[in-house]
Amino acid sequence: MMNDISKYDQRLDAYRFFLIMEKGLGEKTIAAYQSDLMKFGQFLTDNKVDCIVEIDSGFILKYLIHLRTRGLNARSRARHLASIRGFFKFLTNEKIIGKNPTQRIDTPKTVLHLPDVLSISDVEALIAAPDHNKPEGVRDIAMLELLYGAGLRVSELIHMEINALNQDAGFIRVLGKGSKERVIPVGRMALTSIKTYLTQARPLLLKNRSSVYLFVTRRGHCMTRQSFWYLIGRYGKLAKLKKKITPHSLRHSFATHLLEGGADLRAVQMMLGHADIATTQIYTHVAQTQLVQAHKKYHPRG
């Protein structure tokens, strides 16, 4: 097969010749490109990529996330992306591949400017911060568990209706941006905390009133975004976390911990409810059973 990954080194040699003869680049610049591309080639091997045409923008983004977890700053990641982009442009021009998978990926300075990732111990400390002897504390523990356990947006969390939760199947239905519904697995720890909240705290908060919302205040309403932002910031201080904590901190940590654990990027993308990183279609082929398996296997609290 002409695009077999075993020919990767040959493609690099051809690209090096192109940079020398056509671009007239200096040896140091070419050596830097080659070094970046050799590291990318090792990542292909580690991830058992067999064919160049299998590499899509999702895989490129996964590599950039890998570089970030290795400690590379935005400038270094941008340089790696530039090296990869130039290489795939060459492969496209030479008709070796039909489409450049880097075309729709912006530089890390704009797209991958992400908040700090909480460590697992930070997450545990944050979840342990609310007072479990008070109904509000039991509720807040369940909210934090679900926010981290399912990677929800804060608006999705506070507006979630009680009938969106299927405790027996371990799923929640989420209505995300653009009124797009997705189904997300919920880990055992989050389910346990939610069950405790539903049986012990929610009735005390409602006081014989009814509400369609899963998480309620003492007035029987759903919590506001501002209130939850305040709560999570306060719990961050109680947990003595040095990082600034926002609801998105847990959503980003959810995704990062799954990816660092080896979860497939497409499965994580579906759980997050992002519209795409290249095309939406590449994420629609992951079955719900596969999502459950990925969540249980890779999520720290799954």
| pLDDT tens-place string over residues 47-56 | 888 888 778 8
* Most confident of the following: 15-29, 114-128, 146-160, 165-179: 146-160
Is the pLDDT at 221 greater than 80? The verdict is: yes
Active site residue 15: no
Active site residue 243: no
Active site residue 23: no
- pLDDT category at 195 given cuts 50, 70, 90 is very high
Catalytic position from the list 99, 177, 218, 219: 177
Strand locations in 130-273 (E): 165-166, 171-175, 181-185
Catalytic position from the list 85, 89, 132, 274: 274
Identify whether the C-beta of residue 295 lies closer than 8 Å to the C-beta of residue 302. yes
Q: Note the pTM of the prediction, 2 decimals.
A: 0.58
Active site residue 113: no
Distances (CA, A) of 289 to 55, 278, 285: 25, 24, 11
Catalytic position from the list 62, 251, 257, 266: 251
Look at 22-26, 124-128, 178-182, 278-282 and tell me which has the smallest mean pLDDT. Answer: 278-282
Q: Cα-atom radius of gyration of the chain, to the nearest Å?
A: 23
Look at 100-109, 134-143, 273-282 and tell me which has the smallest mean pLDDT. Answer: 273-282
Please give the domain boundaries of the chain with CATH numbers for all domains: 5-93 (1.10.150), 120-298 (1.10.443.10)
Active site residue 251: yes
Is the pLDDT at 282 greater than 60? The verdict is: no
Tens of pLDDT, residues 226-255 = 999 999 999 999 999 988 888 888 888 887
Q: Write the burial class of residue 98 (CB in 10 Å: 0-12 exposed, 13-18 middle, 19+ buried).
A: exposed
Catalytic position from the list 283, 295, 299, 301: 283
Strand partners, 181: 175
Report how far residue 205's alpha carbon sits from residue 38's, in angstroms, rounded to the nearest whole number: 59
Strand order in the sheet with 181-185: 165-166, 171-175, 181-185
**Tokens 């700053």, residue?**
73
Catalytic position from the list 16, 39, 132, 248: 248
Q: Residue range 35-39: average pLDDT?
A: 94
- pLDDT category at 1 given cuts 50, 70, 90 is very low
Catalytic position from the list 11, 153, 252, 295: 153
Active site residue 182: no
